[in-house]
Amino acid sequence: MPGLVFPNNAIPRTNDNSMSEDHGGVSPEPGPARTPEYDDGGYFSPSGCTSSSAALDSLPSNPCGLRVESSTVAALDIASPSRYFGERVPQMALRNKALCYACLTCASRVLTRRGELDKAQGDVYEDTAISTLIPQLPTSSTCDEARREILLATVVILRMAEQFSEVKDDARCHLAGASSLLISKAETEARPSLGVAAFWLYMRQKLRAAFLNEEPCKFDMALVADDVGTAPAPDVVWTNRVTALLARTCSACWDPGLEPTLRNELLEELEKLLEGWQESIPETFQPWSEYQAENDPFRTIKYITVAWQYYYAAKVLVVLYKMPKDMNLIEITRYMEVSVEPGLNSSNPQWLGSLF
């Protein structure tokens, strides 16, 4: 079985030691040239990769042929067309031991679920990632962007691996750890970057935990825009806006400390913001994730992007928690049809048609 391998296009062609760094860096030997069309969607590839540095010497020479298919990486890059986790992270992992072992941890959890790897081996990878990560954590609030991007990417990948735990066994340690590395509001609205992509991945990981446990999805409101806004923006920004709205909706619905009057006020506000989002998205907003292989005349529609999923999830939650409590099943059905389905028909008819 092959050893730990990365895409060859992740290895910069260099004859110096520019790949080395203070925190477990390596200087990989350049791999064979790849065609410009080459596009590996996974963390690891069948192609080989060697290192002249001792930084990753502790890696097993044969780590069970660990690989992560493109579908696993797509879960991280689901709303990031720049594909930072599928393309940039493998490059960074060659220079950073903690990030490398975080990738190994995530891959090992996939193999464990398939029965192809003992869980204890994945635990070893995770322990190594954490023990290597801790010394790299900033001791103050000041941390340069490049370093913070690596740290945050490492933690959210570890969180991805942590999500393979059963709900009752999920301690959410990495979810809590990521909160200390969050970027500022100004940076969330700046040009796309790995740090921004990691921040919104963190938000979606928090949403997953909120839904599984029916609990508030609390986050620092200062990190995101106060409202959905109407300024022209790429699709990914519109997706991030509705992600924040869904997080606020979870908190409004599931915060046990909210007074009924305040809860209703928040739900009314969120209902308006959600409709504002739906009315403001450009006509070109793409509700589908499409993939077209080379020489394939037809595109493959893989899944609905999280933007529409989050919009309708938030809309349904608002309707449910605003709904009178004394309704019977028939009345509830009619109430939902009137409150939710018009949005399905008017805003995205092709989505509705796909359900039948």
Residue 146: which domain range? Answer: 58-213
pLDDT in tens, 213-225: 999 998 777 777 6
Point out the domain boundary residue: 213, 235, 260. Answer: 213
Residue 53 lies in a domain: no
Q: Go through the chain and tell me how many residues it has.
A: 356
Residue-averaged pLDDT of the chain: 71
Q: Is there a contact between 79 and 35 (Cβ–Cβ < 8 Å)?
A: no
Is 262 in the same domain as 329? yes
334, part of any domain: yes
Please report whether residue 18 resides in a domain. no
Q: Answer yes or no: is 331 within a domain.
A: yes
Residue 132 has pLDDT above 70, yes or no: yes
Q: How far is the C-alpha of 221 from the C-alpha of 269, rounded, in Å?
A: 15
pLDDT tens track for 309-319: 899 899 999 99
pLDDT tens digit sequence for 294-352: 777 776 665 556 788 899 899 999 999 988 878 888 887 887 777 776 555 444 444 33
- In this structure, the answer to whether residues 251 and 337 fall within a common structural domain is yes
Residue found under tokens 């519109």: 238
Residues 198 and 77 in one domain: yes
Q: What is the pTM of this model?
A: 0.73
Task: Give me the number of domains the chain comprises.
Answer: 2
Angle (nearest 5°) at CA 45 between 41 and 50: 135
Indicate if 144 and 225 belong to the same structural domain: no
- Residue 212, classed as helix, strand or coil, is helix
**Listed residue (325, 322, 286, 321) closest to 306, CA to CA:** 286
Which is more confidently placed, 289 or 146?
146
Q: How confident is the model at residue 234 (pLDDT cuts 50, 70, 90)?
A: confident
**Model confidence over 75-117: pLDDT tens digits?**
677 767 778 888 888 888 888 999 999 989 988 888 898 898 8
3-state secondary structure of 291: strand
Last residue of a domain, one of 190, 213, 236: 213
Residue type, 126: E
Residue 56 identity (one-letter amino acid): L
pLDDT value for 199: 86
Quick: pLDDT tens for 23-80. 333 333 333 333 332 232 333 332 223 333 444 555 554 444 445 444 455 467 776 7
- State the average pLDDT over residues 160-186: 74
Cβ-proximal residues to 28 (8 Å cutoff; 6+ apart), any chain: 11, 19, 49, 50, 51, 52, 53, 94
